[in-house]
Chains A and B, each alone.
Chain A
Amino acid sequence: MSKKHKEYRSKIRIYADILNSLLRHGGSSGPTHLLLGANLSYDRLMKHLKQLIDLGLISEEKNDDGRIFKLTDKGRAFILEFAKIEKFAEAFGITI
């Protein structure tokens, strides 16, 4: 019988997953793509998106199709910084 391990994701990693998902969609996306990309429930995704907007890492725009979330320059800088931290952590065997 196989045992499924649910890996704990830190808040910072969830942020990175959401931002990377946005990046993969060319820097802007609606919530549906982000739900799949970040593997979160709708409520949790909305909570994190609000926090990311407050931090200035993403911006929100409303158009005829609904809500669109856009990656800001600060968000792009965060993705790069996180990628460096991830590599540094990996080198020392640190989990983030």
Chain B
Amino acid sequence: MSPQLLFLLAFTMDLISSFISILVGYHAFKSYKVSSAKSFLYLYFGFTILGVGIFLRAITVTFFVLVFRIIEDIPSSLLSLSNFAGIIFTATHLVAYSLFIATYVIQDGSSGQQDLGVGGAVAAAVFPVARLFYIPTLELLAITMLGFVVVSSLMNYLHKRSLNSALVFFGFSFMFLSHLFFLFMIFDEFLLFYGQIMRLIGFVCLLIMLARVNRTHV
């Protein structure tokens, strides 16, 4: 797989993830408008912020990848700017996860080495730039916060035993896994790609849940 194709794939995955996130947020807002339940409002802000964050990160990473490919001597100011953008984008995730926690609280790698051969060129072209947008310390914080959300959604599933609650649990679990991949990217840059796949699977779980909810008959 060529670096360009892989980069395009990662970009597309981010776009789909952000779209689904905003869609879930929109559904939560619709529910809030009818029911006035505050938890829906937290969910709405959480998924909207997360979706916008992922979208902006995808756009900005693309911009920096293109700029860094053109400019040979990257000025330190540009590197600082990309680092700053990374902090901002990770912060949007943390804000979103705080809101997910509020929703629940207010209520009651081994193949990487093989792929490195294929991904060697990709890593040279994309990952050194893209990984600037992931800050290990903040990823640890995200893992902790999302861990709480995963446990809460698991408890909800065990209580309700419905497929929809299982899909929400799987959705958050895959997002949790994606952050683990992002964290261990310091050892293998290709894990960024796997992390994006995990996140997309998580959002697809939420999309299936939404589709099932919208198929409801009285």
| Contacts A83-B218, A84-B213 given; does A93 touch B164 at CB 8 Å | no
Bound together, the chains give a CA A95 to CA B218 distance in angstroms of 20
Tell me which residues across on chain A come within 8 A of B103, comparing CB atoms.
Answer: 92, 94
B34 touches A12 (CB 8 A): yes
Min distance, Cβ A92 to any Cβ of chain B, angstroms: 6
Q: Is A80 an interface residue (CB 8 A)?
A: yes
Residues 4-43 of chain A, each 1 if its beta carbon lies under 8 Å from chain B, else 0? 0000001010000000000100000000000000000000
Residues of A in contact (CB 8 Å), total 21
Min distance, Cβ A12 to any Cβ of chain B, angstroms: 5
B165 touches A94 (CB 8 A): no
Q: Which of A45-96 contact B (CB under 8 A)?
A: 76, 79-85, 87-96
Tell me which residues across on chain A come within 8 A of B35, comparing CB atoms.
Answer: 10, 12, 85, 89, 96
Tell me which residues across on chain B come within 8 A of A96, comparing CB atoms.
Answer: 31, 35, 37
Bound together, the chains give a CA A56 to CA B170 distance in angstroms of 40
Q: Is B153 an interface residue (CB 8 A)?
A: yes
Chain A's interface: helix, strand, loop or mixed, by majority?
Answer: helix
Tell me which residues across on chain A come within 8 A of B156, comparing CB atoms.
Answer: 92-93
Min distance, Cβ B30 to any Cβ of chain A, angstroms: 8
Q: Is B152 an interface residue (CB 8 A)?
A: yes
Min distance, Cβ A50 to any Cβ of chain B, angstroms: 20
Bound together, the chains give a CA A94 to CA B160 distance in angstroms of 11
Tell me which residues across on chain A come within 8 A of B108, comparing CB atoms.
Answer: 95
Residue numbers of A with Cβ under 8 A of B are: 10, 12, 23, 76, 79-85, 87-96
Given contacts A91-B167, A91-B213, A93-B152, 19 further A-B contacts (CB under 8 A): A76-B218, A80-B216, A80-B217, A83-B218, A84-B216, A85-B30, A88-B27, A88-B28, A88-B210, A89-B35, A90-B165, A91-B162, A91-B209, A92-B153, A93-B165, A94-B39, A94-B103, A94-B107, A95-B37
A-B contacts, 29 listed (Cβ < 8 Å): A12-B35, A23-B218, A80-B217, A80-B218, A83-B217, A83-B218, A84-B213, A84-B214, A85-B31, A85-B34, A87-B164, A87-B213, A87-B216, A91-B165, A91-B209, A91-B213, A92-B43, A92-B103, A92-B165, A92-B168, A93-B107, A93-B152, A93-B156, A93-B159, A93-B160, A93-B165, A94-B37, A94-B43, A95-B107
